[in-house]
Structure 1
């Protein structure tokens, strides 16, 4: 027979587990509320003009909650940018995988990234506010993950003889730097549409030189 002590121990462990899960869910929900409110405020007003008291009130929380979970306004911006980066990566991967021809998928991936620079939310938060507020260490992990993904796909193109035989790691860093700088340029001064057209033309010229003979 199952002893009373065993039943009590089981109930106690179950209760502790439930409390931990409940606490983790509450923390996740609080962070999600703050990130959502901050994302809306940063998109509408910009990082500098977004007031923390108004932002936390919109989330139904206090400024203390913001500091507890993110350490301050810059940490909250970093969390918003991380969320947006992940969404951008998902969109870009869908573009890449949506082409049967790997080369055409690669070109579409690069074009789509540059086109995102004209989207108001991405332009303001990712390409302007994050650039002026966050340091390289704030976005280091996302940056390295992006480069690793690009390098992996470039290695596939090299292995299939589609592009010249070169270091995929070096090409990935070169391409990533070019795309980021072009996106910054597109996003400046209200993102005039001709900048996207000019950047796309320059991209095509550069990448044509990568194709295998």
Structure 2
């Protein structure tokens, strides 16, 4: 009985998140009405209030889902890289380029900050920082980069990537901005390498 109720709750939440994600991606947060969202999900407005509190809470849930998908995609990139350094650079470039994807750009980098506030304070950022910190420690351990404070460096890197992604999303020409950011990021990150190393290795 308890499992059945849990399944029903999960199904209801899933329907609302799916409907909201589609609406936020196509219409934007401001133009997506709660009545339309619940009607599309085949549920009542009360269900939305019960599970998410309000429309803002629903946006938070949608962003959490997208963030988890982004992290999963980045993890694959890290795993497939030939070296830890390649994985670190490839992951960072992929994160930058994700800000060009229409759904991510609109929901995460445009509507998210305007509704939920500073993205650097979102819980998902802590997971990104921890992941980056682990990569930095591995690079130090294998002698690829100089010894630095891993948390401080991870926060600097993620702050730079997040800030740049927000800039790209709001740029008049996001694609050109993205190319400029990638080039600049690789140059900056390469400063971590030991003298005997080069960014191309």
Look up the match of 2:61.
Answer: 79
* Contact kept? 1:157, 1:163, Cα under 8 Å: yes
CA distance in 1, matches of 2:151, 2:26: 38
Aligned counterpart in structure 2 of residue 95 of structure 1, from 68, 77, 80: 77
* Contact kept? 1:78, 1:139, Cα under 8 Å: no
RMSD: 1.5
Q: Which aligned pairs between 1:38-53 and structure 2 lie closer than 5 A?
A: 38-53=20-35
Q: CA deviation at 1:189?
A: 3.8
Aligned counterpart in structure 2 of residue 140 of structure 1, from 122, 126, 131: 122
Q: Which has the larger radius of gyration?
A: 1
SS of the residue aligned with 1:124? helix
- Give 5+ residue unaligned stretches, structure 1: 1-18
Look up the match of 2:199.
Answer: none
TM-score with structure 1 length normalisation? Answer: 0.88
Query: Deviations along 1:50-72, whole A, 9 cap, x unmatched?
Result: 01101100000011100000000
Q: CA deviation at 1:192?
A: 2.7
Look up the match of 1:36.
Answer: 18
Query: Deviations along 1:192-212, whole A, 9 cap, x unmatched?
Result: 311011001110110111101
CA distance in 1, matches of 2:117, 2:174: 27
TM-score with structure 2 length normalisation? Answer: 0.93
Residue 70 of structure 1 pairs with residue 52 of structure 2: yes
Look up the match of 2:111.
Answer: 129
Q: Aligned pairs, how many?
A: 195
Aligned counterpart in structure 1 of residue 131 of structure 2, from 137, 149, 152: 149
- Give 5+ residue unaligned stretches, structure 2: 196-201
